[in-house]
Amino acid sequence: MERIKTLLARYSQTAFLFFIGLILIVYLALGILYLQQAPQQQDYQDKIDKLNAILKNPLPSVNALNAEYAAINQSLAPMADNITIAMLVSLAEKSGIDTEEGGGKFQVPIASHGSAGSYQVVSFRGIQVQGDPDKVMAFIRVLDSDEKLETLESTVPRIVTRSVSRLVTDDVDVIATGTEGERRKEFRSVIDAVIAMMKDNNLMESGIPNPMSVNQGRASNNMGDDPQTPAVKVVAPGGGITTTGFEGFPDITTTAAGKTYTGNATPQQGYLLYQHDKISSANTTLYTTVDYFPALSVTYYYTAEKDGTVRQWSGLNLAVAKEYPDSRPTKPELRATVDINIYFTQETKPK
Question: Is the same domain home to 186 and 260?
Answer: yes
Q: What is the number of domains present in the chain?
A: 2
Share of residues in the chain with pLDDT > 90 (%): 38
In a domain, 198, yes or no: yes
Phi-psi region of 6 (alpha: psi -120 to 50; beta: other; left: phi over 0): alpha
| 342 in the same domain as 311 | no
Q: How confident is the model at residue 154 (pLDDT cuts 50, 70, 90)?
A: very low
Furthest C-alpha separation in the chain = 185
In this structure, are 228 and 249 located in the same domain?
A: yes
Angle at 329 between CA 326 and CA 334, to 5 degrees: 75
Is residue 217 within 8 Å of 177, Cβ to Cβ? Answer: no
The answer to whether residue 21 scores a pLDDT higher than 90 is no
- Distance between CA atoms of 44 and 326, rounded to whole angstroms? 83
307: Cβ contacts below 8 Å, ≥ 6 apart:
207, 208
Could you give the dihedral angle defined by the CA atoms of residues 55, 59, 65 and 67, in that order, rounded to the nearest 10 degrees?
A: -140
- Residue 167: what pLDDT? 85
User: What whole-number distance in Å separates Cα of residue 187 and Cα of residue 50?
Assistant: 83
Give residue 256's pLDDT.
92
Residues 6+ apart with CB under 8 A from 22: none
CA dist 200 and 217 (Å) reads 28
Beta-carbon-side half-sphere exposure of residue 303 (alpha carbons within 13 Å)? 22
Residue 5 lies in a domain: no
- Contact predicate 231/251, CB 8 Å: no
Query: What contacts 273, CB < 8 A, 6 or more positions away?
Result: 190, 193, 194, 197, 223, 224, 248, 249, 250, 291, 292, 293
Q: The domain spanning residue 153 has which CATH number?
A: 3.30.70.60
8 A C-beta contact, residue 298 and residue 186: yes
Mean pLDDT throughout 36-46?
69
pLDDT in tens, 94-104: 899 988 887 78
In a domain, 24, yes or no: no
> In terms of domains, do 128 and 261 share one?
no
Q: Is the pLDDT of residue 77 over 70?
A: no
When pLDDT is averaged across residues 8-21 and rounded to a whole number, the result is 63
Q: Which residue has the higher pLDDT, 186 or 155?
A: 186
Pair (303, 337) in one structural domain: no
- Same domain, yes or no: 216 and 126: no
* Comparison of pLDDT for 176 and 148, the residue scoring more: 176
Q: What is the pLDDT averaged over residues 208-234?
A: 84
In a domain, 27, yes or no: no
Where is pLDDT greater, at 27 or 242? Answer: 27
Is residue 71 included in any domain, yes or no?
no
**Which of the two residues, 157 and 182, has the higher pLDDT score?**
182
Expressed as residue numbers, the domain containing 214 is: 178-328
155 in the same domain as 284: no
In terms of domains, do 163 and 184 share one?
Answer: no
User: 211 and 319, same structural domain?
Assistant: yes
The whole-number average pLDDT for the span 88-117 is: 85
What is the Rg, in whole angstroms, of the alpha carbon atoms belonging to the chain? Answer: 47
User: Residue 188's pLDDT is what?
Assistant: 95
- Residue 194: inside a domain: yes
Residues 165 and 185 in one domain: no
Strands (E) in the chain, as ranges, are 106-107, 112-116, 119-131, 158-175, 220-222, 232-235, 241-244, 250-251, 271-272, 276-279, 287-290, 297-304, 310-313, 323-324, 330-346
Average pLDDT, the chain: 80
pLDDT, residue 153, reads: 45
pLDDT tens per residue across span 242-280: 545 568 999 999 999 999 999 999 999 999 999 999 999
In a domain, 293, yes or no: yes
6 within some domain: no
* CB-CB neighbours of 106 under 10 Å: 20
More confident residue, 108 or 342: 108
Shared domain check, 227 and 240: yes
Task: Report the amino acid identity of residue 88.
Answer: L
pLDDT of residue 115 exceeding 90: no
Shared domain for 201 and 298, answered yes or no, is: yes
Average pLDDT rounded to a whole number, residues 58-69? 62
